[in-house]
């Protein structure tokens, strides 16, 4: 027969020992914390006895090491030790202990600890990528503090945005195939005082290896120290269409490409395009023009999605239908039905694979839908009521008309699920940039941006990352590291297209056919005064999308 009294005695003794250990552990932590805080306060006192300070520090360290010995899996002693070593400038020791803590099963460490360790990385040689990872973890945190708008979290989140630019890599270090060419005009083409910026791009309808590019020009300048806009009378945007740009012109050896140089045989045509005079634009606003047009194909027609103040005196989205033959705008549609919060911009047109291959005459386009990614997190997909467009095209009225959109993917929270099925990342800090483009495996690729801060709160620094959606565009299945293109500053990417290199498949000397390689074309502007076009190997981009900023 089992002696229950002896079993009960063992349980009671074990419980008592655990309670005593916990009480001792808490006492040691409290004592060490008090000593370190007292010493920190004493650092400002010039009359403090240094030997006393060092003696007290030794006592605090001994308390923390004893506490760690009692419960090796609890990381609070390590966090306090990290803080101590960082305070005395021993960053390598602080970071070594911090890495040990982050490998512990105790996941109770606060976001302040992540930030402390991340900011320590800039003082330790070879730890730049670790600093990027830790700052990125904070920016994607979905903690209770974030949900409750905790003031401490807000401060840490701001500091992470403020400092992440110190750790950002250039895209070339992530994708070595990156090729870059600056796009410029002759001075007699562009209006005096205007600068090219923020181009967008789609494949040509005539040749797979050539592009249509929308070139935006503006009459203002950014003060690169304060990011404040300088202009004389009003902010003005003009746009130009470039037809037949050859992808072969994109290479690092071709530093600049003059778009309107008649000696360039690869250049077909350039014309400024104007809105129809019959459209009732509001010219009383101080910000005029169609901003950051994103080109896309739908139902065998060239469209653009852009933002403007000239329809409702607030920043609204509008659709423009191009007449490609005349380089003019045929119709303008005010987009209504969702959002309308007074600042609608950066919607991302969804380009399915068959839409990109415009020259494929066999595909059916009668039921082709026009869809946009409105927001990344919560993930919202909008669809245009195409009957509005059809009805507008059937009538001769050339005035501005409206088109309704409705959500088909409405507010999917936390779209990035990790393998374990319960841990998710937040993408609330990201804004849409380029088109969302379907790949051959039916997944979708896009480029988004976040906003960081530089030496002062006015100095914005954009950072970018690739995002990959699943086939249904209801979950993020891959992300890249954040990066910058050419300058750790205001860079704005608008265009994204997919091409095949060596697409002509000319025979080589052995009579074999050269395999084609898929490349991504990205167009972007810098400080709203420079325009660039670039290409990257698609395989490199996809291979880079295994970044998971989660501790």
- Mean pLDDT, rounded, for 347-374: 69
328 and 234 belong to one structural domain: yes
Q: What are phi and psi of 223, to 5 degrees?
A: -75, 110
Q: Give the model confidence (pLDDT) of 226-254 as tens digits.
A: 666 777 778 888 888 888 888 888 887 77
Q: Helix/strand/coil (H, E, C) string of 230-257?
A: ECCCCEEEEEEEEEEEEHHHCCCCCCEE
CATH number where 442 lies: 2.115.10.20
Tell which of 121, 138, 166 closes a domain.
Answer: 166
Peptide bond into 307 cis (omega under 30): no
127 and 253 belong to one structural domain: no
362 and 264 belong to one structural domain: yes
Tell which of 142, 166, 190 closes a domain.
Answer: 166
Q: 551 lies in a domain?
A: no
Tell which of 149, 166, 183 closes a domain.
Answer: 166
Following DSSP, what letter does each residue of 343-398 receive, concatenated? B----EEEE-HHHH-TT-TTS--TT---EEEEETTTEEEEEE-HHHHHHHHTS---
> How many angstroms separate the CA atoms of 432 and 446, rounded?
8
**Whole domain around residue 54: which residue ranges?**
9-166
What pLDDT is stored for residue 506 in this prediction?
44
226 and 134 belong to one structural domain: no
Q: 33 lies in a domain?
A: yes
Share of the chain above pLDDT 90, in %: 21
Q: 549 lies in a domain?
A: no
Q: What are phi and psi of 129, to 5 degrees?
A: -65, -35
Q: How confident is the model at residue 414 (pLDDT cuts 50, 70, 90)?
A: low
Q: 3 lies in a domain?
A: no
Whole-number average pLDDT of the chain: 79
Q: 1 lies in a domain?
A: no
What pLDDT is stored for residue 495 in this prediction?
95
Please report which helix (H) or strand (E) contains residue 196, including its range. Answer: strand 195-203
Q: 354 lies in a domain?
A: yes
Q: How confident is the model at residue 541 (pLDDT cuts 50, 70, 90)?
A: very high
**274: nearest Cα among 311, 322, 310, 335:** 322
Q: How confident is the model at residue 509 (pLDDT cuts 50, 70, 90)?
A: very low
Cα torsion 279, 280, 286, 287: sign: negative
157 and 272 belong to one structural domain: no
329 and 222 belong to one structural domain: yes
Coil, strand or helix at 465: strand
- Mean pLDDT, rounded, for 29-57: 70
157 and 189 belong to one structural domain: no
177 and 153 belong to one structural domain: no
CATH number where 86 lies: 1.25.40.10
Structure tokens at 67: 């506490």
Count structural domains, the chain: 2
400 and 419 belong to one structural domain: yes
132 and 182 belong to one structural domain: no
Query: Whole-model pTM?
Result: 0.83
pLDDT for residue 278 is more than 50 = no
88 and 194 belong to one structural domain: no
Where helices occur in 43-108 by DSSP H, the ranges are: 50-70, 76-87, 91-102
Q: 178 lies in a domain?
A: yes
**466: nearest Cα among 485, 480, 477, 452:** 480
What pLDDT is stored for residue 339 in this prediction?
75
Q: How confident is the model at residue 172 (pLDDT cuts 50, 70, 90)?
A: very high
68 and 195 belong to one structural domain: no
Q: 2 lies in a domain?
A: no
Q: Give the model confidence (pLDDT) of 62-92 as tens digits.
A: 888 888 888 888 888 888 888 888 888 898 9
């Amino acid at each position: 027969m089992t002696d229950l009294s002896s079993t009960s005695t063992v349980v009671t003794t074990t419980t008592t020992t655990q309670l005593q250990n916990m009480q001792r552990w808490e006492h040691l932590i409290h004592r060490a914390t008090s000593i370190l805080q007292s010493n920190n306060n004493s650092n400002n006192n010039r009359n403090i006895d240094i030997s006393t300070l060092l003696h007290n520090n030794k006592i605090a360290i001994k308390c923390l090491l004893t506490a760690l010995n009692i419960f090796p899996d609890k990381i609070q002693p390590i966090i306090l030790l990290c803080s101590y070593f960082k305070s005395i400038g021993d960053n390598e020791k602080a970071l070594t202990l911090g890495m040990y803590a982050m490998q512990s099963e105790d996941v109770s460490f606060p976001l302040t600890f992540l930030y402390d360790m991340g900011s320590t990385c800039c003082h330790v040689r070879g730890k730049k990528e670790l600093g990027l990872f830790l700052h990125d973890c904070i920016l994607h945190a979905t903690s209770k503090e974030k949900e409750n708008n905790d003031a401490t979290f807000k401060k840490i989140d701001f500091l992470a945005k403020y400092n992440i630019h110190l750790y950002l890599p250039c895209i070339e270090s992530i994708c070595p195939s990156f090729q870059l060419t600056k796009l410029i005009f002759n001075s007699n083409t562009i209006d005096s005082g205007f600068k090219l910026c923020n181009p967008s791009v789609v494949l040509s309808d005539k040749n797979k290896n050539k592009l249509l590019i929308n070139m935006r020009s503006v009459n203002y300048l950014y003060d690169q120290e304060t990011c404040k806009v300088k202009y004389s009378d009003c902010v003005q945007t003009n746009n130009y269409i470039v037809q037949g740009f050859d992808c072969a012109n994109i290479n690092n050896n071709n530093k600049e490409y003059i778009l309107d140089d008649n000696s360039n045989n690869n250049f077909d045509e350039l014309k400024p395009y104007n809105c129809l005079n019959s459209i009732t634009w509001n010219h009383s606003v101080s910000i005029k023009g169609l901003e950051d047009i994103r080109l896309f194909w739908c139902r065998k027609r060239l469209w653009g999605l852009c933002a403007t103040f000239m329809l409702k005196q607030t920043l609204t989205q509008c659709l423009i239908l191009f007449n490609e033959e005349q380089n003019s705008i045929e119709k303008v549609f005010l987009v209504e039905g969702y959002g309308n919060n007074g600042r609608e911009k950066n919607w991302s047109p969804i380009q399915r694979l068959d839409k990109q291959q415009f020259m494929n005459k066999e595909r059916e386009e009668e039921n082709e839908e026009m869809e946009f990614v409105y927001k990344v997190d919560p993930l919202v997909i909008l669809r245009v009521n195409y009957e509005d467009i059809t009805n507008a095209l059937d009538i001769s009225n050339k005035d501005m008309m409206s088109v309704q959109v409705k959500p088909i993917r409405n507010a999917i929270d936390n779209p990035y699920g990790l393998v374990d099925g319960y841990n998710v990342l937040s993408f609330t800090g990201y804004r849409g940039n380029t088109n969302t483009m379907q790949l051959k495996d039916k997944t979708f690729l896009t480029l988004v941006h976040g906003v960081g801060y530089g030496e002062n709160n006015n100095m914005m620094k954009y950072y970018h990352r690739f995002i990959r959606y699943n086939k249904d565009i209801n979950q993020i299945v891959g992300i890249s590291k954040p990066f910058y293109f050419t300058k750790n500053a205001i860079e704005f990417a608008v265009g994204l297209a997919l091409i095949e290199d060596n697409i002509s498949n000319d025979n080589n000397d052995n009579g074999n056919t050269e395999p084609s390689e898929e490349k991504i074309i990205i167009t972007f502007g810098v400080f709203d005064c420079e325009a660039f076009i670039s290409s990257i190997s698609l395989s490199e981009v996809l291979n880079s999308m295994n970044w998971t900023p989660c501790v």
